Structure 1
């Protein structure tokens, strides 16, 4: 049985009581590409909803910096963590060996020189330490060990697919954000080291993976480009006994480097991941009641709001970053607005904020992901 030490005090940041955050050190042993055995304590941050459970398990996996692997000292992924806690998950975020507080040397996940990559054993290291986290999570009395989701970014995204290929008991889904390896946007933008070996590796993974997986990439990923990820996925799917298990989502160019879409594009990827998880039987929070999309406007176009005040559009941009349930409310004259999100009574709260100042009737513009505003709502703009 895995045992972990707890009671760690982190001076650099206060633990979140709202998310029941705590930190443990989990003894972990891995073997790197040189067959060197490394045993250290891995820092793992835990979060959980309020209540007794049982809660499904979410494991969030970080990437690999090509600059300074000592920062951050421990990973938290607060926005993604809140996303999963809001959907009833207990969350574990390991800061794997070779990163952060555990020290950067030796480097267990080193995969060799650019021309001599050994990707498979390197990702085995990341997967092995993650399996230790899963085993520990399953021991907790408040979890459902039969419902586990792994999600990773970059190196962590590939690790999520590595785990899918291993099919650990209880794993129901793997989500890969910008997964790959050997990328450096400064010295070799769009050209990762030995993409052919990554293609071969993903093909091997496809042969054994038995759980649904979602692959999310942008068209302007400066680490891996837009071509290689599609080839990797195609090889994975080609080798899979069931091609319907894996789904690829090619997202438009995002900001100056789409590789960071996961950490910066929550408002865009959240409905994509929601739909995927919904198909895996995960309940997605929503506003009680029946609401129909009127087709009045594209939800992601603040310029479409029937208002004259730039201030209201600025509030709307902030609203789009909020999680479900959520609501954006305006008065019929387009003079005042209220919004709230991430709470069951978001519509009531948003309506109350609007009514405090509005002279005309307040009406919902967006509820959850639907534009419910009607042209007939507009009075005098």
Structure 2
């Protein structure tokens, strides 16, 4: 259990990683199959739209279940399409790993009621209310659990080689799912996970961040599956310091967990580390995948 800091001074390493694994053009990247999954969420049959990626070779395959973030407005949530970036899905497919990325209830074509509102409110740069991030994470993880249960029924999925991954609120949902210690889940990956940020009026600060520390503390007490946390120094939702506080709260539960704090994502809000910081996260994620045996025979 450790925290590693990769500042911009490691530019040569970053450039080396970028040169070793160049980005592919969109024409070379695998495209998703958009499917409507018949899931059972909290005992209720629910049709969930999902992007599904499979390698070209014959399965069964290791599987990544990816959880998307949360847009700020209802219109943006309704307009959600392709919950995982094609480039990141391609990172997995090139390694022989399948990906399922569901649009959770309240988002995209799945639709339905919004059950992930934490209650965080802003008036300009001032945080109002007392957000319940535990409720948000627990409600979001319902779709993760239902997707996992669906995946166990698919003949092309290796049932003992499943990894959970998420970004922003999806990262928080992933850590909530980690607390369930699901059979066959070998690891969890949290990209920029959190809730309650306001990058426009209050950049680098979130609403009642200590509430989220308590949420992570609760999940960390239950989780035993290994996890990797990835945050950028210039994340405009959380800032450079609070993710370390959240990680320490989670780590206190005693699970096998590691955090990598990267340098700034040049030209972008560091909250977009997953999309635009590949050279900084690729090596630690590769190492984590190897350590947890996702690709093992």
TM-score normalised by the chain length of structure 2: 0.81
Cα displacement (A) at 1:248: 0.7
With over 3 angstroms needed to count, the CA separation of the structure-2 counterparts of 1:39 and 1:53, relative to structure 1, is closer
Distance (whole Å) between structure 1 residues aligned to residue 80 and residue 202 of structure 2? 25
Counterpart of 2:119 in structure 1 is 112
Give the greater-gyration-radius structure (CA): 1
Counterpart of 2:237 in structure 1 is 223
1:78 aligns with 2:105: no
Counterpart of 1:253 in structure 2 is 264
* Contact 1:74–1:101 (8 Å) recurs in 2: no
With over 3 angstroms needed to count, the CA separation of the structure-2 counterparts of 1:254 and 1:17, relative to structure 1, is closer
Counterpart of 2:248 in structure 1 is 234
Counterpart of 2:150 in structure 1 is 136
Distance (whole Å) between structure 1 residues aligned to residue 120 and residue 45 of structure 2? 24
Cα displacement (A) at 1:120: 1.2
Would you say how many aligned residue pairs link Structure 1 and Structure 2? 261
* Contact 2:163–2:294 (8 Å) recurs in 1: no
Unaligned runs of 5+ residues in structure 1 are 1-15, 32-36, 285-381
1:320-331 residue pairs with structure 2 within 5 A?
A: none
Distance (whole Å) between structure 2 residues aligned to residue 216 and residue 74 of structure 1? 22
Counterpart of 2:37 in structure 1 is 26
Counterpart of 1:345 in structure 2 is none
RMSD of the alignment, in Å? 2.3
With over 3 angstroms needed to count, the CA separation of the structure-2 counterparts of 1:185 and 1:247, relative to structure 1, is same
1:358-373 residue pairs with structure 2 within 5 A?
A: none
1:275 aligns with 2:283: no
Counterpart of 2:17 in structure 1 is none
Cα displacement (A) at 1:142: 1.6
1:65 aligns with 2:65: no
Cα offsets for 1:255-286 (capped at 9, x unmatched): 241000101122321122101111112449xx
- 1:199 pairs, out of 210, 213, 216, with 213
* Contact 2:144–2:174 (8 Å) recurs in 1: no
What secondary structure, in the 3-state scheme, does the structure 1 residue paired with 2:80 have? Answer: coil
Cα displacement (A) at 1:18: 7.0
Distance (whole Å) between structure 2 residues aligned to residue 38 and residue 194 of structure 1? 33
Cα offsets for 1:108-139 (capped at 9, x unmatched): 21122432212112211111111111111111
Out of 128-137 and 109-118, give the one that drifted further.
109-118
What secondary structure, in the 3-state scheme, does the structure 1 residue paired with 2:147 have? Answer: helix
1:97 aligns with 2:111: no
- 1:209 pairs, out of 200, 223, 228, with 223
Cα displacement (A) at 1:26: 2.4
What secondary structure, in the 3-state scheme, does the structure 2 residue paired with 1:166 have? Answer: coil
Distance (whole Å) between structure 2 residues aligned to residue 80 and residue 134 of structure 1? 20
What secondary structure, in the 3-state scheme, does the structure 2 residue paired with 1:102 have? Answer: coil
Cα displacement (A) at 1:225: 0.7
With over 3 angstroms needed to count, the CA separation of the structure-2 counterparts of 1:237 and 1:22, relative to structure 1, is same
TM-score normalised by the chain length of structure 1: 0.64
Cα displacement (A) at 1:23: 2.1
* Contact 1:30–1:125 (8 Å) recurs in 2: no
With over 3 angstroms needed to count, the CA separation of the structure-2 counterparts of 1:283 and 1:134, relative to structure 1, is closer
* Contact 2:234–2:270 (8 Å) recurs in 1: yes
What secondary structure, in the 3-state scheme, does the structure 2 residue paired with 1:148 have? Answer: strand
With over 3 angstroms needed to count, the CA separation of the structure-2 counterparts of 1:233 and 1:191, relative to structure 1, is same
